[in-house]
Amino acid sequence: MKNNNYNLIIALVLLAIPFGYAAYLYPNLPTTIPTHFNINGEADDWGDKSTIFLGPGIMAGVGLFTFFLMTNIKNIDPKRFKTEDDGMYKKFALFLVGFLSMLGMIITYSSTNDSGNISKILLPFIGFAFSLMGWFMPKLHQNYFAGFKLPWTLENVDNWNETHMVAGKVWFYGGIAQAITTLVLPNKLGLIAFLGIVFVMVVVPTVFSYRMFKGGNLIKQ
Mean pLDDT (10-residue bins), the chain, 221 residues: 72 87 79 65 66 81 83 67 61 84 82 66 87 87 81 87 92 93 85 91 92 76 49
* 13 CB-side CA count, 13 A: 7
Report which secondary-structure segment, H or E, holds 46: strand 43-48
DSSP tag of 82: T
Q: Give the whole-angstrom CA distance, residue 10 versus residue 94.
A: 8
pLDDT at 196: 92
Phi, psi of 44 (to 5 degrees): -130, 10
Helix/strand number for the chain, H first, E second: 8, 2
Report which secondary-structure segment, H or E, holds 157: helix 157-184
pLDDT at 82: 47
Q: How many CB atoms lie within 10 A of CB 19?
A: 18
pLDDT at 80: 56
Quote the pTM value.
0.74
Q: Give the whole-angstrom CA distance, residue 145 versus residue 65.
A: 12
pLDDT at 79: 58
